[in-house]
Amino acid sequence: MLHQKKSTVKTACVEAFPLAIAIAAYGMSYGVLAMQVNFSLLTTVAMSVFVFSGSAQLVTVAMLAGGAGLTSVLLTVILLNLRNLLYGAALAEGIEPAKKWTRLLAFGVTDEPFVLASARFKKVGPDPTYFAVVAAIFYIAWIFASFFGALIGNQLDPQKWGLDLAFPVTFAALLVPGLKGKPVIGTALTAVILALCLEGFKPGNELTIILTGLLAPLVGLFIHRRTSHA
Amino acid sequence: MLNQWILIGTLAVATYLSRIVGIAFMAHRNMNPTLRLYFNYVPIAIITALLVKQVFIPTGGRLMLSSPVLISCFVAAISISLTKRFLPSVVLGVIIGLVCRHLIF
The string of DSSP codes covering A3-33 is: HHHHHHHHHHHHHHHHHHHHHHHHHHHHHHH
Does the pLDDT at position A154 exceed 80? no
- The tally of domains found in chain B comes to 1
Residues 6+ apart with CB under 8 A from A190: A215, A216, A219, A220, B45
Give the three-class secondary structure for B65: strand
Of B8, B36, B54, the CB nearest to A168: B54
Residue bearing the bigger pLDDT, A161 or B97: B97
Q: B58 vs A218: CB contact, 8 Å cut-off?
A: no
Q: DSSP assignment of B23-53, as one string? A: HHHSTTS---HHHHHHHHHHHHHHHHHHHHH
Report, as an integer, the average pLDDT of B58-62.
Answer: 85
For B14, the domain range is 1-30
Residue B84 lies in a domain: no
Confidence of residue A157 (pLDDT cuts 50, 70, 90): low
Whether B74 is in a domain gets the answer: no
* CB neighbours of residue B26 within 10 Å: 16
Q: Determine, for residues B42 and A87 on separate chains, whether the beta-carbon distance falls below 8 Å.
A: no
The answer to whether A147 and B71 are in contact (CB under 8 A) is: no
Q: Is the pLDDT of residue B31 over 70?
A: no
Is A1 a residue whose pLDDT tops 70? no
Q: Residue A206 pLDDT more than 90?
A: no
pLDDT in tens, B72-100: 999 999 999 999 887 788 889 989 999 99
Is B93 in Cβ contact with A165 (below 8 Å)?
Answer: yes
Domain contains B44: no
Cα distances (angstroms) measured from residue A176 to each of A18, A88, B66, B75: 19, 25, 20, 11
Long-range contacts, A112-121 (Cβ 8 Å, 24+): A112/A19, A112/A23, A112/A138, A113/A138, A114/A87, A114/A90, A116/A12, A116/A15, A116/A16, A116/A19, A117/A91, A118/A90, A118/A91, A118/A94, A120/A15, A120/A94, A121/A91, A121/A93, A121/A94
Q: Is residue B6 part of a domain?
A: yes
Q: Is A178 within 8 Å of B29 when comparing Cβ atoms? A: no
**CB contacts < 8 A (A, B):** 278
Query: Given pLDDT bands bounded at 50, 70 and 90, which one contains residue B7?
Result: very high
B20 within a domain of the structure (yes/no): yes
Give domain status of residue B22, yes or no: yes
Evaluate whether residue B93 is within a structural domain: no
Mean pLDDT, chain A, whole residue set: 87
Q: What is the DSSP code (8-state) at residue A125?
A: S
Question: Would residue B65 count as lying in a domain?
Answer: no
User: Which DSSP string corresponds to A144-162?
Assistant: HHHHHHHHHHHHS-HHHHT
Q: Could you tell me the CA-to-CA distances from B37 to A6, A83, A176, A228, B32 in Å, in that order?
A: 37, 10, 19, 13, 9
Q: Which residues in chain B touch residue A76, judged by CB atoms under 8 angstroms apart?
A: 46
pLDDT tens per residue across span A27-38: 888 998 898 888
3-class secondary-structure state, position B62: strand
CA distance A3 to chain B (A): 29
Choose the closest CB to B5 out of A43, A77, A204: A43
